A and B are shown apart, each in its own frame.
Chain A
Amino acid sequence: EVQLLESGGGLVQPGGSLRLSCAASGFTFSNYGMNWVRQAPGKGLEWVSGISGSGDNTYYADSVKGRLTISRDNANNTFYMQMNSLRAEDTAVYHCAKSSSGTYPKNFDYWGQGTLVTVSS
């Protein structure tokens, strides 16, 4: 059974930093891309970033380029996102989502329950 468990969310002041983690199990982790998709309160889904199975290729939404960095540790089946210079508009539930592809973020066949990031003073 595929499981994705996010952690690392919380309350942070504007301009602050957070590191989100996603622990994966139930599939061959290095064969699949991984992504972060966020959902602000009462809003729709917004893809934030993605990384290929090998870790060689990364993809970012324009709204977060330069502020967020994703990485993965295939030895420990864990996926990360370092979030810097956080803004109020980054407030959202952040879901870890598995790609059905090993290369680009084609679509997302499994999702975690999410971790809440709140940016507020």
Chain B
Amino acid sequence: SYDLTQPLSVSVALGQTARITCGGNNIGNKNVHWYQQKPGQAPVLVIYSDTNRPSGIPERFSGSNSGNTATLTISRVQAGDEGDYHCQVWDTTTVVFGGGTKLTVL
């Protein structure tokens, strides 16, 4: 089975840039999608197919994917960006999620 590895937590100062990684074997050959989830709420798609932002998602959110690592980058981090971030891929006949990363804004 295919595994995705995310750091348990990432901390960033208000206004700085946060980078959340998602590691997987040759993940650069797959389409990676990212979700933001705030406490008690349903997940929200923030990046799809590596680099694309759905309508309504701020330009501060961007994504990249190459080799064995995909990265979600959040520029000019705001307090409202705190929450859990999950990466996801489709692998053959199944959906795989990473374990999730808790983003803390200092």
Contacts and interface: CB of A to CB of B under 8 A. Distances in A.
Contact of A107 (B42, B45, B84, B99): B45
A108 B43 contact: yes
A111 B99 CA distance: 19
Interface residues of A, number: 22
Contacts, number: 61
A67 to B, nearest CB: 16
Contacts of A105: 90, 95
**What is the predominant secondary structure among interface residues of chain B facing chain A?**
strand
B90 A104 contact: yes
Given A45-B100, A100-B48, A111 B43 contact: yes
Contact of A113 (B1, B35, B42, B97): B42
Interface string B55-98: 00000000000000000000000000000101010100111111
A41 interface: no
Contact of A44 (B41, B45, B95, B97): B97
Given A45-B86, A45-B100, A50 B95 contact: yes
A37 B95 CA distance: 10
A112 B48 contact: no
30 contacts: A37-B43, A44-B98, A45-B37, A45-B43, A45-B88, A45-B97, A46-B97, A47-B88, A47-B94, A47-B95, A47-B96, A47-B97, A50-B95, A59-B94, A61-B95, A95-B43, A106-B31, A106-B33, A106-B90, A107-B31, A107-B48, A107-B49, A108-B88, A109-B45, A109-B48, A111-B42, A111-B43, A112-B42, A113-B41, A113-B42
